[in-house]
Amino acid sequence: MIVPETANKIKSMEIRGAGRIARAVAEALRDHALAVQAPAPAAFREEMERAASTLLATRPTAVSLPNAVHIVLADLGHAKTTEEARADVVQRADDFIRSSQHAVEQIAQFGASHIRDGDTILTHCNSEAALGCIIEAHRQGKEIEVFATEVRPRNQGLITIRTLNDAGIKTNFIVDSAVRSFINDVDLVIVGADAVTVNGAVVNKIGTAQVAHSAREARVNMVVAAETYKFAPRTILGELIRIEERPGSEVLPDEIARTLPLVTVRNPAFDVTPAEYVDLIVTEKGAIPPQMAYVIIRDYLGWGIDEFHTPFGPAGFNCE
């Protein structure tokens, strides 16, 4: 898929979900590398940097996007020829796509082990990793039931309930604001993540923090399913993840909004759940308490403080 087409699909949310976005970015960079005609490595590098910048401008919150760029283009400056650079990008992109898909499978296995036979689970938004845990538990023969939220304003919950229905799992579909009404019927909350900070705070679809607060009040465990490339390296330096605010027309049609000149529609796409409201983060490397998020960034993303000064490290692409 070409870079501008991928960027438009990510920005319009035709491609959505942090994992899917990351794989689409890796695929676009790979295809662009194959198409670029550049006689010298420096020119090839410039073309890849331009493509990366186009993709990075699409969604500011999901750190899977800049992390994917970092992984795919990490050694670009070391290539001695254009063909060597091209082959390296293609290899890294293919490896990333495979490892991303495998990560979801591994998380499903680890996550399912935390679901008991007879559990009722609540999930919010549409997460490959979170749904993988639930579906794997069902596949193992555990009798489970799910509460799934509508997820306003983009209604990603419709994708979730179709997936659960197709998997043969009994599901209750509720509006986001009904979570508190049903939380006492729930044994476990499982959600995905768009970003995890160094202190274990979780950035996810708007409404997740309210779910977490309700779960804590009801003493229901909150589990986050997140691939390691969703952890945010720049938060080591104290930088905050910028919360994307999308067009108000997603909430209120423009034709109605124009009749209300004193009304401003606010539409943040994500919120932040504090680490103290998260009991466990399940990654493809295993389950960790949120306080161990730094270990993931250091050991599995391979980015310590020194990495922030490399051309294709976190300092090169703003992960805010």
Could you give the residue numbers annotated as active site? 125, 194
Radius of gyration of the chain (CA): 20
- Residues whose CB falls within 8 Å of the CB of residue 64, separated by 6 or more in sequence, listed in order: 18, 19, 21, 22, 194, 195, 227, 229, 230
Q: What is the spatial distance between Cα 36 and Cα 53, in angstroms, rounded to a whole number?
A: 16
Give which of 133, 147, 168, 287 is closest to 220, Cα–Cα. Answer: 147
Spatial neighbors of 252 by CB under 8 A, at least 6 apart, are 263, 265
The CA distance from 232 to 183, in Å, is 30
Q: Which of 225, 21, 256, 200 is nearest to 121 (CA)?
A: 225
